[in-house]
Copies of this chain bind each other. A is one copy, B any other.
Amino acid sequence: MIKKVNTIISPTWIYTADKNNTVLEDYSIVVKEDEILDIHPTKNVFDTYDANDVFVLSDHIITPGFINNHTHTAMSLFKGYANDLPLKSWLEDHIWPAEKKHVCEAFVKDGSLIAIAEMIKSGTTTFNDMYFYPSQTAEAAVEMGIRANIGLVVMDFPTNYASDPEDYLKKGFEFRDDWRNEELISTSIAPHAPYTNSDKTLSLISTYAEQLDLSIHTHLHETEDEVKNSIDQFKLTPIQRYNNLGLLGPNLVAAHCVHVDDQDLILLQQNNVNVVHNPSSNLILGSGIADIPKMLDLGINVTVGTDSSASNNRLDILEELRMAALLGKGLSKKPDIFDAKTALKMATYNAARSLNKSKIFGSIEVNKKADIVAINMDSIFSQPVYNPLSTLLYNANQGGVDYVWINGTLKLKAGQLHNIDLDRLKNIANSWKTKIKTT
């Protein structure tokens, strides 16, 4: 008997990101409601299923939706606002004053909408965020239909959003309670960084995270100065300090980890800490280059992120994967490491695992949520295709992303945002630009 389903997608290739990193040829993905019901040989899929929507994508490779594991989405309104400046001046003379002047609920909602449009157009189906006014980011995510893990940010100094650690935590937990039934939204607790949080606050966060079974999202070892200052102040590296305060563990998602010595690497390894590599941001801000090949050798779970539009004008995960692979090869002088499967897994399964969601999404497998991306391999930039995964990693970028489904819903169709008013978003960007430039 033929079963009614919602969608059948029949590409040439599927990169599954499953346990064996399987690549399937001439298989179809059968979607029922928000889930992958079956992965079936294309030659007889239509004998078994009848779908409302059928997508025959013979020029395409399918991958699990990408997970951008370190973002500050609202900052897309500062995209290109202060490039090519020394880090200190960038932060103190430009970004912080601009944040003080402009960051409010409307800024966060609008900036998040624009970032999410960029992310969907480049194949991202989940982002792991940290910023102020989390409700606004969540609203934008649900309005756009993207999955978001939202960090409840905590700092020891006041901002427009909150006055002190207690206030940040209170607002964070209120947000968490308000949004707990929205299936696209999940939460982490997010101590901003070792240099913006006191021991007292970090201990408190460690306790909350354990009690509430929350993952933790933080910046860690981003710059040489951060490590040096910590040693000066605490006689400990930030990683050692986090270890003493009980923060290192499999629920910690640590962004950057650029300057990590061998002892600290062992601490990350032994505690099963998840690392987010942000290669473009680390280069643009002059922070340096993380030694990802060494982390992979140690079995550390490495994921990938873009960081914000203020420090990496592109929110394009395919670009970050290519950058990660190229830097890994160039730095290690080993062109045979960091192949396409290694890279693609960072942005899919590994990231889902870091968020404790790998049973729900992050791979193309039966019963997983239907977070699916189809990328065109037929352009003159990709042809000839000898190895589809390799072509995907080295040639593709957002221009090839043609279809995106999130939670079973079509969000990008033939390269165009589906049921999303792009002109409205551009107008929003433009009106904020005028405001930010002139005040």
Contact = CB atoms under 8 A, between A and B. Distances in A.
B399 A80 contact: no
A313 B384 contact: no
A224 B285 CA distance: 28
Nearest to A437: B386
A209 to B, nearest CB: 32
A381 B333 contact: no
Given A118-B381, A380-B425, A383-B430, A390 B286 contact: no
A383 B426 contact: yes
Contact of A380 (B224, B336, B426): B426
Q: How large is the interface on A (under 10, 10 to 19, 20 to 34, 35 or more residues)?
A: 35 or more
Interface stretch (A84-92, A146-154, A237-245): A84-92
A198 interface: no
B87 A394 contact: no
A390 B310 CA distance: 12
Given A282-B330, A287-B333, A339 B384 contact: no
Contacts of A114: 380, 383
Interface string A330-353: 111111111110000000000000
B380 A335 contact: no
A253 interface: no
A124 interface: no
B286 A332 contact: yes
A6 interface: no
A429 to B, nearest CB: 4
29 contacts: A77-B384, A79-B383, A79-B384, A79-B386, A80-B384, A80-B391, A80-B395, A81-B386, A84-B338, A85-B335, A117-B380, A118-B380, A224-B333, A283-B327, A286-B329, A286-B333, A287-B333, A288-B330, A289-B331, A323-B323, A323-B326, A380-B426, A381-B398, A383-B426, A383-B430, A386-B433, A386-B436, A397-B399, A398-B399
Interface of A: 77, 79-81, 83-87, 89-90, 114, 117-118, 121, 224, 280, 282-289, 312-314, 316, 323, 326-327, 329-340, 378, 380-381, 383-387, 390-391, 394-395, 397-399, 422, 425-426, 429-430, 432-433, 436-437
